Structure 1
Amino acid sequence: MKKILLLLALLGPLAPAFSQKKVIFDSDMGPDYDDVGALAVLHALADNHEAEILATIASNRYELVVPCFRVVNTYFRRPAIPVGRTVASAPLKPCWQRGWTDTLVARYSQGAQTPPDEAVALYRRILSKQKDNSVTIITVGFLSNLKALLESGPDTYSSLNGMDLVKKKVAEWVCMGGAFGKLHQKEFNLVEDLPASKYVLGHFPRPALFSGFEIGIRVKTGVELTARHRSGSPVEDTFRIAMKSSEQDKDGRPSWDQTAVLVGVRGYGKHYTIRRGRAFMEEGGTNGWTDQADGPHAYLVEKSSPETVRAEIESLMMHLPRK
């Protein structure tokens, strides 16, 4: 007994049991390239045993979104992650910056692939297998899939309808969407499928945290990543190609999507405070906000400097695949 007590004294207090965040990543990858950085961050956190990636799901009908998911997942040694295609009502937004999506698919795709799952079916299959109150959904794109999921009925995966399934299985929804530094603005992710955004903001049955436009725009990443010139990295290739296509990105690209992934996995407390209330969509597509102490929604407010957040995100984006 004395030996046990001595050992405990030497070890110090026992650390609490470690718990990985179980994440479904829902992205419009293609119109912008911060989605690639966000998925790289998520894989780095998974390699660090902070997250488990349950699925990567497209919210954009652009045909190269799913292949790009597969390229990045395969690069990080996780080719078996389920990939979902979006619903028919979702927007179709092709690549904006110099065709980086075409380059990734041409350079890294590995032949014929199995057809992707349909988004709602994949959501329901994944959620039905998880413990109650255990899944974090991170959306860095349109809310088309979430609307369809909430409106879905019972199926072979679960006897619950979509609303009840989400209420039972999801712990939190983290969304890159909205503009809260200056209200009554139109923000791309929320305005492009306005009916979906209105519905989801009004009906999502679990707590939601928003990383608004004003957060990511001040966190510029990609300069260190592209300076090292490592071959065979689709993440570096994406940023190198896309950053060269835009003079405004010479000092880095705003990290809208990366900030959502960072707080979705590591929590907001290190770099941000929050303001709690309720977000909603106004007529015409601007986003509104009502303060409410016990509201179901919250948005990030800067605490750390953008440079501090940039350094953490850039380091994660530069992470190399596990051996």
Structure 2
Amino acid sequence: MKTSLLPAAAALLLAGTGCGSRSAAPAPEPIRLIVETDMGNDIDDALAFDLIYKAMDDGRVDLLAIGNHKLSPTATDYIDILNTWYGYPDIPLAQSPTPVLNDHAPDYTAAVCAMTREDGSPAFARSKTPEQIEDPVTLYRRTLAAQPDCSVTVLSLGFATELAKLLDSPADDISPLTGRELVARKVKTLSIMAGSYGEKQRAEFNVVNDIPAMRKLFAEWDTPIVQNPFELGKQVMYPGAAIENDFGWAKLHPVVEGYKNYHKMPYDRASWDLLSVVYLLHPEYFTESEPGTVAVDDKGFTNFTPGPDGRHRWLTATPEQLTRLRDCIVRTTTRAPKHTEL
């Protein structure tokens, strides 16, 4: 599928500053990133990881650690497939010991992990043994302790289960700081897909699946939080036509196969998690709210109270920004990655 760029977006691309571009201009220091995901609950997690790997290809991101809290026998295996296929097999990977069950949608990771070639061998290579899959809180503590102060960005693409446990973690052999102290010292910002601020506000999926954890996260996470709410992702639909038409360069693609196994093709899907990634790379594609404070109520609704001392903001986008976001996402995901054999 050919996508049309707005003149402003085209100018950015020609200038080497557009999303997914490969410019010879000096690159900023890579974003030191920790990602928490519920891979398998929705295909947007997989597409979001594609954006992350492409940003790594471009030297924009240093992916330090990945944690998964989806209750699934194949979700973490699928992340290992992604890391391996995109050329980053050594990224530390963790699986929650207390994952959250959600069985309302097909788990596309099972289908992809079960795929085989004609000779019966696995369709996609893995890199991790079961013994190399870590505990998330331990991995996050070790990762944060090893980084400079105020240098790490955390990206939350699912529930707050493990991040809340990180906040509650005590001092240990890894660090004399508690989890909350480690976050306050080492983390620069948290980009999170969560919540709802539409005309008909809802108890959003990532919040309602672990309300106590999300409440703790917003109350005790002592760094800026940028919230990407439900309504924004619905305004940037990922086109199923791109999956059908624009990946001919790949014989087998784990994200494409995941997309095809999530719902009956063809279908478009909201870009919820993808936007939290794009925000880190291109905040100018969004409109930020005034500062304030988010509180999570007992039913899973997020309530924003403006205030100059608040650490929280939430995102919207103008019609022009929405077009730029869609063009950026489609252009980047349909681009061949740098490291994998195609």
TM range (shorter): 0.7 to 0.9
Shift of 1:106: 1.9
Distance 2:51 2:242 in 1: 15
CA 1:198–1:322: 2 relative to 1, 3 Å: same
Does the Cα contact within 8 Å between 1:180 and 1:299 map onto a contact in 2? no
Query: Is the counterpart of residue 262 in structure 1 residue 278 in structure 2?
Result: yes
Shift of 1:307: 2.9
Which residue is equivalent to 2:63? 53
Distance 1:104 1:272 in 2: 36
Which residue is equivalent to 1:217? 234
1:321 aligned counterpart, secondary structure: coil
- Count matched residues: 302
Shift of 1:301: 1.6
CA 1:95–1:181: 2 relative to 1, 3 Å: closer
Amino acid at match of 1:278: T
| Aligned partner (choices 326, 332, 341) of residue 310 of structure 1 | 326
Does the Cα contact within 8 Å between 1:179 and 1:185 map onto a contact in 2? yes
1:85 aligned counterpart, secondary structure: strand
Shift of 1:243: 4.2
Shift of 1:305: 4.0
1:79 aligned counterpart, secondary structure: coil
Shift of 1:59: 2.2
User: Percent identity among equivalent residues?
Assistant: 26
| Aligned partner (choices 216, 225, 247) of residue 199 of structure 1 | 216
Alignment TM-score, normalising by the size of structure 2 = 0.83
Does the Cα contact within 8 Å between 1:61 and 1:85 map onto a contact in 2? no
Which range is displaced more, 303-312 or 196-205?
A: 303-312
Task: Write out aligned runs for 1:1-323 (5 A).
Answer: 18-88=28-98, 90-94=99-103, 96-97=105-106, 99-107=107-115, 108-110=124-126, 113-115=129-131, 116-182=133-199, 184-222=201-239, 223-228=241-246, 229=248, 230-244=250-264, 250=267, 252-264=268-280, 266-303=281-318, 304-323=320-339
1:59 aligned counterpart, secondary structure: strand
Cα deviations by residue, 1:209-241 (Å, 9 ceiling, x for unpaired)? 000001111111143133134321111111223
Shift of 1:184: 4.4
Which residue is equivalent to 1:6? none
CA 1:233–1:200: 2 relative to 1, 3 Å: same
1:86 aligned counterpart, secondary structure: strand
Distance 1:36 1:276 in 2: 30
Distance 1:17 1:43 in 2: 16
Distance 2:87 2:172 in 1: 32
Cα deviations by residue, 1:187-219 (Å, 9 ceiling, x for unpaired)? 000111011011111111111000000111111
Distance 1:72 1:141 in 2: 18
Does the Cα contact within 8 Å between 1:41 and 1:317 map onto a contact in 2? yes
Amino acid at match of 2:102: K
Shift of 1:162: 0.4
Does the Cα contact within 8 Å between 1:34 and 1:254 map onto a contact in 2? yes
Distance 1:204 1:172 in 2: 10
Alignment TM-score, normalising by the size of structure 1 = 0.88
Distance 2:159 2:199 in 1: 21
Supply the RMSD in Å over aligned alpha carbons: 2.0
Amino acid at match of 1:231: K
Distance 1:79 1:205 in 2: 32
Shift of 1:16: 7.4
1:121 aligned counterpart, secondary structure: helix
Structure 1: tracts of 5 or more residues without a match? 1-14
Amino acid at match of 2:243: L
Amino acid at match of 1:92: L
Does the Cα contact within 8 Å between 1:176 and 1:256 map onto a contact in 2? yes
Does the Cα contact within 8 Å between 1:170 and 1:206 map onto a contact in 2? yes
Does the Cα contact within 8 Å between 2:75 and 2:110 map onto a contact in 1? no
Distance 2:71 2:261 in 1: 22
Distance 1:64 1:94 in 2: 14
Does the Cα contact within 8 Å between 2:84 and 2:126 map onto a contact in 1? no
Does the Cα contact within 8 Å between 2:30 and 2:61 map onto a contact in 1? yes
